[in-house]
Structure formats: C-alpha cells, structure tokens
C-alpha cells in the first residue's frame, strides 16, 4: 500500500493543475496561481515521500511528468494567453479582427495572436520528455525546471492584474515584451544550462552554501518586495547558478 502514497500525492498535483486551468481560462489568475502553488507543493512532496518510503518506481516518474505538464506546463500557457488577450483586447471568440489598445500604441490585425502563449506549454512538454531521458539531472538541473518557470509566468500574470504601479503595468501589458518573455521562457526550459537543485543531503552549511544563501536572500526579497519578489527570485536563481558554475569550473581547473 505504501508504494501508492507518492502516486496519490502526484495525483493531487494533477488535480490542482486541472482546477487551476479552469480558473485561468476564466481569467481568474490569482485563484489559478493559488492552485498552481498547491500543485507544486504536492510535486515537491511526492518525490520526498518516495525517497523516505523507498518506493521509487518508473510509474511514479512518468506520472509525475504528466502531472507537471498540466500544472507547470498547460496553466502557464493559459496564463500567458490571457495576458496577451488582456494586453491586446482581442479574442478568438470575438467578431472583431482588429483592435487598438487603450494606450493607442499597438495595432493588432488577428485575434489568434495570443495563442502563441501556448508555446510555453509545448516547450514545457519537450523539457519534461528530455528530463525523463537525461541521466545527468539527478543532483542538479539542466535548463529551468518547469515548476520554476510556472511560478515565474503565473507571478507575472498576477502582478499585472493587481499592480498599482503604472510602469510595471505598462511593461507587462506590452505584447512585444510578453512575446520576448515567451521566447526566453521556451529557451531557458531547454537550454544546456546547469542549475543547482534545492536537494539537501544534509542540513549542514558545508556543501550546501549556495542553497542556504539562496534561501536567505529569498526570505529577504519576500519580506521587502512581497509578490514582486517572485520574478526576482527566479532571476536570482539563474544568476546564482551561473556564478556557481563559474566557481565550480574555476576550482576544477586548479
């Protein structure tokens, strides 16, 4: 019976992703974000439960990827689709084929443009498939993990719906910037970029320096920036990984 405990936790991840997708399609990205966060929470603990119970299995690994594709792949794609919809004021369900935004800066001739948001979903599927076949990603990651990418996209979607800062709203309502974010997201998901993983073999500082420093900086960012801290944390994660790679390479040379 205990071998099913991790799989049941994984299925909770999948269910959270399905519920998040429903809210995202209704443009309630805040509620969708809450369920994505819950799904990622279950995604973390299914692997932890499998290791603690010593019941890791091929079935669990495949099921985990399927759940991640929904929670951390489909939902971010929907969120970006909605962000582009809101930025451009167009929809495939509207009769109009052209629209000028409130800011009168962008002219769109097709209501199908927001569909490019689902490139994130396609790139996430490719990343998950590659992850299942890549034996290098046991203690670290190659490319941005889908949960981290999902957190980034969902946080941006929530920020644009809640921010009172005009310059942030302007940036995240710019379809060209959103398109750039989509392309960057797709690249980082599948880039040959080594990133450290938050997997502690022990809780001592030695050997876990970068992890403890990262968590401390995350805490400071959350306290000071609150919701705005989330995309900053993802950027910090990338920068610290690059720094860690440079230090490791330098130590190897000497």
Please report the pLDDT score of residue 81 as a whole number.
95
d(CA 224, CA 171): 21
Please report the pLDDT score of residue 141 as a whole number.
85
What's the predicted TM-score (pTM) here? 0.86
d(CA 142, CA 128): 11
Please report the pLDDT score of residue 75 as a whole number.
97
Task: Tell me which residue of 96, 36, 46, 84 sits closest to 180, measured CA to CA.
Answer: 84
d(CA 67, CA 86): 28
Per-residue pLDDT of the chain (254 residues; tens, 9 = 90+): 677 788 889 999 999 999 999 999 998 999 999 999 999 999 888 777 777 777 777 777 788 899 999 999 999 999 999 999 988 876 666 544 333 444 445 555 567 889 999 999 999 999 999 988 877 766 678 899 999 999 999 999 999 999 999 999 999 999 999 999 999 999 999 998 999 887 766 667 777 788 899 999 999 999 999 999 999 999 999 999 998 888 877 666 55
Please report the pLDDT score of residue 101 as a whole number.
44
Task: Tell me which residue of 100, 231, 112, 91 sits closest to 171, measured CA to CA.
Answer: 231
Instruction: Calculate ∠ Cα 139-129-34, nearest 5°.
Output: 75
- Burial state string for 182-220 with b = 16 or more CB within 10 A and e = fewer than 16: beebbebbbeebbbbeeeeeeeeeeebebbeebeebbee
Class of the CATH-defined domain 2-197: mainly alpha
Q: Helix, strand, or coil here: 99?
A: strand
Please report the pLDDT score of residue 105 as a whole number.
56
């Amino acid at each position: 019976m205990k071998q099913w405990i991790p799989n049941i936790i994984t299925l909770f991840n999948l269910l959270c992703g399905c519920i998040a997708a429903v809210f995202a399609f209704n443009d309630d990205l805040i509620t969708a974000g809450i369920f994505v966060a819950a799904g990622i929470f279950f995604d973390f603990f299914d692997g932890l439960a499998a290791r603690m119970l010593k019941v890791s299995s091929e079935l669990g690994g495949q099921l985990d990827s399927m759940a991640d594709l929904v929670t951390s792949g489909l939902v971010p794609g929907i969120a970006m689709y909605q962000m582009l919809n809101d930025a451009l004021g167009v929809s495939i369900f509207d009769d109009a084929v052209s629209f000028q935004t409130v800011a009168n800066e962008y002219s769109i001739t097709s209501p199908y443009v927001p569909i490019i948001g689902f490139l994130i979903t396609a790139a996430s599927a490719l990343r998950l498939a590659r992850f299942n076949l890549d034996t290098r990603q046991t203690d670290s990651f190659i490319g941005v993990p889908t949960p981290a990418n999902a957190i980034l996209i969902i946080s941006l979607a929530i920020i644009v719906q809640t921010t009172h800062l005009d310059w942030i709203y302007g940036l995240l309502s710019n379809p060209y910037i959103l398109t750039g974010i989509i392309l960057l997201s797709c690249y980082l998901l599948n880039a040959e970029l080594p990133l450290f993983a938050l997997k502690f073999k022990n809780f001592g500082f030695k050997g876990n320096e970068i992890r403890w420093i990262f968590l401390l900086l995350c805490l400071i960012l959350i306290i000071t920036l609150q919701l705005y801290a989330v995309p900053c944390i993802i950027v910090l994660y990338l920068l610290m990984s690059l720094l860690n790679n440079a230090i490791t390479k330098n130590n190897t040379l000497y």
